[in-house]
Amino acid sequence: MAALSKEKVNLIAAATLFVASATVCGVLAWRHVTAPQSSVTVVDLPTTPYAATVTEAEVIKTDVWNPPVAQSRGRDWIYDTFSPPEILYNSRTKHFTVKPPAALSDDGAVEEAFGLELASVRPEPFRLQLIGYVGTEGNERGTFENIVNGEVFLGGAGRRVPKLGLTIKSLTVRSVEVKIPGSMSTRQRVASAVVVDDKTGKEVTITHRERHFTGELSAFVAQTGEAATREVRAGESFTIGDVTYRINSIKLSPPSIEVTRESPALAQPDRRTLTPRESDDTPAAPDGPPPVTQ
């Protein structure tokens, strides 16, 4: 049998597709017609005319906080997240105390005056200084200065200074090389003395080219607003009126002292670090010529 042409094949496929589509549509239509019908909900509309109404706003209850009461330690008991208090420990009483941070109170008043000012901090000179010498070679005598009372006297080996509790053990004068900053070195005759402490037996060598210091520091303090000063050292205590001040420490660089103030009127010790007041903000530098290289 002869093969069907392409046109006939297409025609037969189209007819088959049409018959299949008609069959499917007929089945779906029959199922829709035979399916049970659902009841339709009837909506009853009101017969009264529409009238606009206004909804009343809800009543909101407002609570007002009471003003904060004064703290148990007074109005100056001020703390802030970034201003922590200073916690102190008293080794004598074995108790901790808390110092509020430096801050302004609500009415803008500054913290209570400390009552004490730092004038200057200086290295402590040795109580006997050799400031020169006199006499011919081999018969020299030293010129000494009593730092305590300012007395100047001549002395040599074996001379006792009972007011200072010292004895001059030896005195020598010899030529030494002196280095001058920014210039050539030179040789000069320099007097030196060995001084013995009568109590401790400790020997100290002093020269007339430079002042000798003990290695300790002293501070000069004054009452607020006053010019007169008093010399104090670390560990010392003194009283002004009913207030007691204790010098805890002294520093030379930068110049400052740490002081604790105690009084019956204070609930706790007031501890502060003082720096030199404006009129004395430059510490006294040790005087004397450059050091000698022997």
Does the predicted model carry a pTM greater than 0.75? no
Q: What is the pLDDT of residues 37-84, one digit of tens each?
A: 767 777 777 778 877 887 777 888 888 888 776 666 555 555 555 666
pLDDT band of residue 284 (cuts 50, 70, 90) is: very low
Under 8 Å between Cβ of 180 and 162: no
Q: Which residues contact 34 (CB under 8 A, 6 or more apart)?
A: none
Alpha-carbon span 92 to 107, nearest angstrom: 37
**Any alpha helices (H) in 68-155, and if so which ranges?**
none
Give DSSP secondary structure letters for 170-186. Answer: EEEEEEEEE--TTS--E
CA distance readout (Å), 233 to 108, 149, 221, 242: 36, 19, 10, 21
Q: What is the pLDDT of residues 155-213, one digit of tens each?
A: 999 999 999 999 999 999 988 887 777 777 888 889 999 999 998 899 999 998 888 98
- Tokens at residue 255, please? 């110049």
Alpha-carbon span 204 to 121, nearest angstrom: 24
- Tokens at residue 174, please? 């010899």
Predicted local distance difference test score (pLDDT) of residue 98: 65
Predicted local distance difference test score (pLDDT) of residue 80: 56
CA distance readout (Å), 100 to 88, 110, 261, 264: 11, 13, 14, 18
CA distance readout (Å), 185 to 182, 189, 190: 9, 13, 14
Alpha-carbon span 273 to 256, nearest angstrom: 7
Predicted local distance difference test score (pLDDT) of residue 105: 43
